[in-house]
Structure formats: C-alpha cells, structure tokens
Structure 1
Amino acid sequence: MLDDDETPPIDREALSNTYVIANGKGGVGKTTLASNLAGLVAADGGSVLLVDVNGQGNVGRDLGYRGTEVDDEGAAFYEALRTGKALEPVRDVRTGLDVIVGGQHIGAAPDMLAATFRMQQHRQALALAVCLAPIARAYDLVVLDSAPENPPLQQLALSAARWMVAPTRSDKASINDGLGSISRQVQLVRRSVNPDLELLGVVLYATGSASKQIHRNARAWIAEELGADAYLFDTIVRYAEAVGQDARSHGRLIHELEEAAASNPKFWDLRAGRAAAGTVVSATSASVAEDFATLAREILTRAAEGDAA
C-alpha cells in the first residue's frame, strides 16, 4: 500500500454523482444502459458526462460518432491517464451530454499505467479518479461504462465511482459468473482505494416482461450470489432484438428511436419504392424506451435515498 502523499488528493465529494455500470461478463447490456441513462438525463435538461472506460469503444456506436472525426479511439483519454491531467470531454455529443471517448488506446491503458507507476498499484487504480475529479462538479451526473472481463479497467472505473449499477441477463451463468466476478472487484476496491463505492442495484436486462418464473429464479440466484435480493431493481428492461439492432445501426439512443418510429414511412410508400426500407425503425422501441425511462428514475431515486440515509 502506498503512502498518502504518493497519490494526488482526490475530491471525493466531486465524484458523489458518479455511477459506474459494470459486470464481469460481456453481452449483458452494460454499454446500452450507460449510454441510455446518460442520454435520458441529458434530454431531461441535466448536464451529463459519459466516460467510455472500454477498449471496444461501443459508446461511439450508441451515439453515432464511431469512425468520425470525434472518434480518436481513446487517445486523449489515454494521455490524461498517463499525465494525471484533467480530462477534456468532447462537448455536446447530444445537447447537455459530453463524452470522454474510449477505444483501443484505453484497452492498452493498464499496461501503460503499470509501466508509468511501477510498484504503485494504489496510484494505478486511482488514475481515472485523479483525472475525473477536477471536472466532475461541472456535471449533474457522471456515468462510467466499464469494460467486461478486464479487471484492471474495471478497477479504474470502480475506483472513481460512488455508485455501481450491474445489469445482468436472467440465466444462472450470467448471474454467477458476471455478478460474482464484479462483486469481488467491488470488495477489493472498497478495501484498498475507494471505501465510498456502493452497489446501488442489479438490473435484469433483455428478458421477457411477463416471464414471472424466470424472474423468480433470477431473484433467487442473485440473492444467493450477493447475499440479498434487495439489490434487484423493480424495473426490467424487456428483450427486443430489433430495437438493439436499430440503435447500433442508426447510432441513436432508444428514446431517439421512439421519436423516429413516429415518422416511419407507410407500408404502401415502401411497396411503391417511394421510401427506403432502411429508414424504418422498430415500433417496439416505444416500450423499451419506457423501460429505460422508468429505470433511470428508479436508479436516481434509490441513490438519493441512499445519500439521505
């Protein structure tokens, strides 16, 4: 363990509205939840920062900037972590929504930090907190999308956050492997560098809204893995594969798809060739958008209750 003077002082109060979306397993809706939570709060008038702590850079797909001049694949983020300087966001990717771009350079960040801060594991883990705290007070909400199956990147994100939200699929493997893995990371980070970190809740993602027995099984497995089922949020994000495909292919958030669906061309215009099939988005997006909106309210309400307690 390092002496306190080996790490710059971190303003933990500035990070009190920082949420990390994390799971030890991929494919459970983590990036989708991070992007849509951030986008919804921004659309509602909040000032939001979304940080892509992921070598895959899929936040760029959700927000439609992947492969554009905005997408430096995490190069600026990497350099801030290396030097300890304050992060410099890309402004107004959506109104009220700024982004720290991730990508392949962030995938290489753990090796760089290990070489830069040799024998200083404490400083390595806190590299993101050091760069984020100076700008975090400018935002109502900061959302971190963490990398699955990458403990060093997970520790970077967890060490900078106040609250963790864990999405999961309803199968036992996702719950045992994904939640089990990330809960161990949370315990390690709390003991070593960030005692403020708390698990806010678990979200069942991409499951049938009427699958009551499946939900009961999942609740029992979550309780078995975490020691209590009180962490499970009431809101369930329903399964809608077409909506997920539309979101990534169009570079739009789910509530933006809902708005676009209202302008879908008529069937007879498609049949007559007066409109392109590629302009049609799934009408199911309205239901999924409502799930995300309800979940966002539940997340923020539970966090406010936690702070008050």
Structure 2
Amino acid sequence: MSYFFLVDYFSQITVPEFKQNLMNLGWIKLIKKKQSFLLVQIDVPTFALNSLQFLKKSIWKHLFKCLKATPILVRIHITSNLSFLSTNNVNTGIKNVKNIILVVSGKGGVGKSTVAANLSLSLLNKGCKVGLLDADVYGPSIPTLFNLTSKISIFAQQENSNVSLEPIIRNGLKMMSIGFLVDTSTAMIWRGPVISSACLQLFHNVQWGDLDYLIVDMPPGTGDIHLTIAQKISVSGAVLISTPHNLAIADVIRIKSLLRKTNIDIFGYVENMSYFICQKCSAKHYIFNSSEKNNYLLNIPRIIDIPIHNNLNFLHSSFEYLSSFIGLATYKSQKSNTRNISILD
C-alpha cells in the first residue's frame, strides 16, 4: 500500500457541508504505515462537528472497499480542535479566544447586526463556543435583536484593581453590548478617546472565557473604534456587509481600504438585501445595481447573496453556508496539502 494510494483514497471522500475532499480541507494530520498496520489521524475542526458522523461512516466504507483483500490492521483516530489564530491577545479577557471576526460595513442600515447575530447562532449550532460583541457604542443593536431591551443585571467581579463583567448568556451564546450598561433611549455624547476606551473594555474587561469565535458587530464608518481595534486587538479577519445600492458600495470600498491599510484580512463580502422573491411567481427581482458591477468595484470574493425576507427562518440555509465559509477561512490548515502531512513508515 503506497503513500500515493492513501492520498488518492482520502481524495475520494468529499464532505458535503463544504463540498471539498479531506485532502483539500487539510484535515489529514498523520499517516503511519508499518507492515500490516495503518494509523491515520484526522483533525476535524470544531465548526465541522456536524459532519463527524458522516466522516466516520464514509471513511470506513471506502476503506473496507479498498482494503477488503488486504490483511491489515487499521486504526482511524479522529480529534476535534480549532487552532489559535489570535496569538497576540494575551493577558486580557480575550486571551482564550481563538478567532476574532469583524463584521463591518461603511454604511449603516445594511443588515450588519442581523448578519453578525445569525452568523454567531449558526456557528453555535455547529458546536462551536461563540461570543457576540456589540462594538457599536453609539447605536447598539444586539439588545434589540435578542429582545433584551428591558433592564437586565450585569454582574461584575473585582480582582485587585481590575473589574471584569460577566457576559449575558442566551442558549449558550455569550453577549456583551454597551446597550446592557447604559440607557439606550438617550444619546451617547462621548468623544473619541472615551469611545475607544469603552470599546477596549468590552474586549478586555469581560469574562469571555474559552471561545472558538468572537463575532464583533462593528459600527458604520471608519472612525476611532475601527482604528483602535486594528491597533490593539489581534483580529483573524473581517466580513464586509453591503446592499447592492451605489451608496452602500461606495462606503464599503472605503472600509475595504481601511482594512487593507491596517493589515486585516478580508474574507469576502455578503450582499444583503440582494433581491426579493415574488410570492406569486417565485421569480427573483433585483431592485438595485448589477451584482457583476459590484464584484468589479469591490474586487473581493462575494460569499453569498441574502434576499429580502421578513422571516429569518427562510434564510437559515444562507447563514449556514456563511458560517461554513467563515469556519474554513479561519482554519489554519484549509490551505494545507499533502506536503504537511506527517508520513511515518
């Protein structure tokens, strides 16, 4: 049994959720073959745990088919892990957060908070440990989206001179917003340095604990909060949200420029409110610009188009796809190939 045979074998196993085979996904970590013994270690990332049972069945099915005439002892060892990418966030409240994802848009009202909330829930449903941080200090939306607008209690702990806040937890999702701490019915008349300090406290002075993902709902524009996070927080990457309208696209181009200048990876953009589906004829109607033109203007990968719909359950599959895309984008080994597989003869 040659190494090339094994590579070809694992290349035939496609994971439906991601539409890629095990070799392209980079999940094969170790192949050890010695005479009549074969050990294969597969590292399945946390966001792909829903595919675990399929993988086990598919691997043994293919292996039995290929090796049924070969007297060999086979051991398949499957582990689950998500590598740390945010390595510079040490000695802070986010030191155990593996990936920090910014959801950004230069324009307000394009559905950024809705996408951030549903991306968080979708990753949570995949088995990940997820936090959602509302960094929009002037206009926090997370309390409204999760129906937490009434007075709620935020508990704090003091250790030496440091005070840390406990996040609000709903169905396993950890959340923190300035809207939990102040009266959101009044205007936040704060200057830039105060805003920056308050934003950093939402990162460092909250007991986020061990998280696979911290999704950050960013404010519109390209102001102090964006610069502060870019300079002080180690970010895994950003997802841009836009509608197809000219004004939204123009602002997204500006925020893209800021992310490039601050060396933050851009995973791609989501075109929200891209079209609506007629309830009578089921046809798609595009009410704004041509998406092809927007692709040319932005020159970044378009992850998915989300239609206008008043029922978020209808959009479940869209957010499932988005969470799978983000999972792969943040996984260190997604670009791995056969060269980084440990082969022990």
Report the TM-score range of the alignment, normalised by the length of the smaller protein: 0.5 to 0.7
Q: 1:136 to 1:91 in 2, by over 3 A?
A: closer
Distance 1:44 1:54 in 2: 26
User: 1:33 offset after TM fit, Å?
Assistant: 0.8
Q: Give the secondary-structure state (helix, strand or coil) at the position aligned to 1:17.
A: strand
Deviations 1:169-216 (A, max 9, x none): 012221122x122113213433xxxxxx21111001012266597798
**By how many angstroms is 1:288 displaced?**
1.2
Residue 232 of structure 1 corresponds to which residue in structure 2? 302
Matches within 5 A, 1:1-309: 10-11=89-90, 16-55=98-137, 56-70=139-153, 88-92=165-169, 94-103=170-179, 108=190, 110-112=192-194, 127=200, 131=204, 138-149=210-221, 151-159=223-231, 160=233, 161-177=235-251, 179-190=252-263, 197-208=264-275, 211=284, 217-225=290-298, 228-229=299-300, 231-233=301-303, 235-240=304-309, 242-243=310-311, 254=312, 286-304=313-331, 308=335
The residue type equivalent to 1:292 in the other structure is F
The C-alpha deviation readout for 1:210-235, integer Å capped at 9, x for no partner, is: 6597798324334324xx24x211x2
Structure 1 CA distance for aligned equivalents of residues 272 and 124 of structure 2: 22
Counterparts in 2 of 1:70 and 1:153: CA distance versus 1, 3 Å: farther
* Structure (1/2) with the larger helix percentage: 1
Higher-strand-fraction structure: 2
**Cα pair 1:151 1:185 within 8 Å, conserved:** no
Structure 1, residues 43-96: CA drift from partner, whole Å, max 9, x if none?
A: 333211111101212111111111231479xxx8xxxxxxx957534242x222
Distance in 2 between the 1:125 and 1:237 partners? 32
SS in 1 for 2:165: coil
- Structure 1 contact 45–96 (Cα < 8 Å) conserved: no
**2:154–2:166: 8 Å Cα contact kept in structure 1?**
no
Residues of 1 paired with 2:97 and 2:288: CA distance?
33
Structure 1 distance, partners of 2:176, 2:136, is: 11
**What TM-score, normalized to structure 1?**
0.61
User: Which whole-Å CA distance do the structure 1 matches of 2:261 and 2:131 have between them?
Assistant: 26
Measure how far apart 1:147 and its partner are. 0.5
Query: Kindly tell me: are residues 212 and 306 of structure 1, through their superposed partners in 2, closer, same or farther at Cα, counting changes over 3 Å?
Result: farther
C-alpha distance in structure 1 between counterparts of 2:335 and 2:201, whole Å: 27
Task: Confirm or deny: 8 A CA contact 1:18 1:141 kept in the other structure.
Answer: yes
Q: Distance in 2 between matches of 1:305 and 1:216?
A: 35
The SS at the match of 1:295 is helix
Partner Cα distance (2:171, 2:199) in 1? 30
Distance, in Å, in 2 between the alignment partners of 1:201 and 1:305 is 17
Larger radius of gyration: 2
Q: 1:213 to 1:28 in 2, by over 3 A?
A: closer
CA separation of 1:111 and 1:125: change in aligned 2, threshold 3 A: closer
Question: Is there any run of 5+ residues in structure 1 with no aligned partner, and where?
Answer: 1-8, 77-83, 115-123, 191-196, 244-253, 255-285
Sort the Cα spacing of 1:175 and 1:140 in 2 relative to 1 into closer, same or farther, 3 A. Answer: same
Report percent identity of matched pairs: 16
SS of the counterpart of 2:296?
helix
* Structure 2 segments unaligned to the other structure (5+ residues): 1-87, 277-282, 337-345
Deviation at 1:168, TM superposition (A): 0.5
In structure 2, relative to structure 1, the CA distance for the partners of 1:89 and 1:238 (3 Å cut) is farther
Look up the equivalent residue of 1:165 and give its one-letter code: V
TM-score (norm 2): 0.56
Does the 8 Å contact 1:89/1:99 carry over to 2? no
